[in-house]
Structure 1
Amino acid sequence: MKDGGTAGDAGEIALSRQDLREVTAFAAVCADAVLGIFEADQPDDPRPRDAVRAAWEFARGGERGRSLRETASAALKAAKSADTVAAREAAWAAMSAAGAAYLHPLAKATQVKHILGAGAYAARAAELVAGDDHRVAAEFLERMAQRATPVVVDVLKRYPAAPNGGGRVGELIRLLDTELRSPTLAE
């Protein structure tokens, strides 16, 4: 990332520290919404909540450093200990929230997961809790899209559209990507 939001070569995206903070705040909002799913499954495991807390700390002006990396890694490990798939997805949402601070300024579609991964994992967790009801995920994504700030949408639009693949979570990333890039979102 170049301070001040300038881009280097043509393969680089201009990102400021504030851009990263806004993207991380959006990811934290998404993950926050499903922390209870993990905590119902693993009530004595604070690792996903710690990851979301670290994301919020960065979003509110903290440093991008060890705490984010360590809590993201811990949330990933917590996902492996989950007893349900929904709890695992919720922990992955928390991991993605902390990882959002590490959005790379590379003009690659794969970077979209740093912006939208927490929302997609959270939507998947919500739909699984609802008996794999895809309408629940669509409604969740719509609510999250309304929470995205203009800065988040602007950052997203600097990148190519989300790539194909990734199973159901990849599909949810593409749905959220399409929603946020839609000109009707601002209406």
Structure 2
Amino acid sequence: MAGEASDVVLSKQDLREVTGFAAACAEAALGIFEADRPDDARPREAIGAAWEFARGGERGKALRDTAWAALKAAKDADSAAAGEAARAAMAAAGAAYLHPLAKATQVKHILGSCAHAARAAELLAADDRAVGAEHIERAVRRATPAVVDVLARYPAAPPGGGRVGELIRALDAGLRR
């Protein structure tokens, strides 16, 4: 997927690596959502679709549909923590759609799932930012060299985005060390 000088070259394997990383991050927060809404499988289905793509499946309708459904589940959640956990699942399925554009905003496709999962854990722990920092450190250790290589093709994460944006920037900085 190459083009103009501002494009990033991405292979399907690169997308699979990023999506697998995002799915693992989201999976860590899934229990937060399921404790809130035990009969709502939408985030679990989004993570499942992300794993399916990461393990060799096709990038298509199931990923898009489950991502949108997880976003709707986030809006239906009864707690902010559960909403963030569902957003982590949405971001995991959406990671497969990382765009080959050298824009800082694309970093959220790579790291958003982990940041939402970390925020969910913080909120569950009475907004304890040390809990989020621990999640970010685990994500830094979980990232494969392939994920770090893809991230390095993009500019650093942009400012803004509230606490989730802060977590994205912390993870971005940790992975670029």
Shorter-chain TM-score range: over 0.9
**SS of aligned partner of 2:117:** helix
Sequence identity, in percent? Answer: 74
* Residue in structure 2 matching 1:18, options 13, 16, 22: 13
**SS of aligned partner of 2:133:** helix
Aligned pair 1:173/2:156, yes or no? no
- Aligned position for 1:89: 84
| Cα distance in 2, alignment partners of residues 9 and 82 from structure 1 | 42
CA drift at 1:140 = 0.6
* Partner amino acid, structure 2, of 1:61: G
- Aligned position for 1:67: 62
| Cα distance in 2, alignment partners of residues 174 and 67 from structure 1 | 29
- Aligned position for 2:138: 143
| TM-score where L is the length of structure 1 | 0.94
Which stretches of structure 1, 4 residues or more, deviate above 3 A after TM superposition?
none
CA drift at 1:34 = 0.5
Unaligned regions of 5+ residues in structure 1, if any? Answer: 183-187
* Partner amino acid, structure 1, of 2:35: A
Unaligned regions of 5+ residues in structure 2, if any? Answer: none
Pairs within 5 Å for 1:112-131: 112-131=107-126
Aligned residues: 177
| Cα distance in 2, alignment partners of residues 116 and 140 from structure 1 | 12
Cα RMSD between the aligned structures? Answer: 0.4
| Cα distance in 2, alignment partners of residues 143 and 128 from structure 1 | 18
| TM-score where L is the length of structure 2 | 0.99
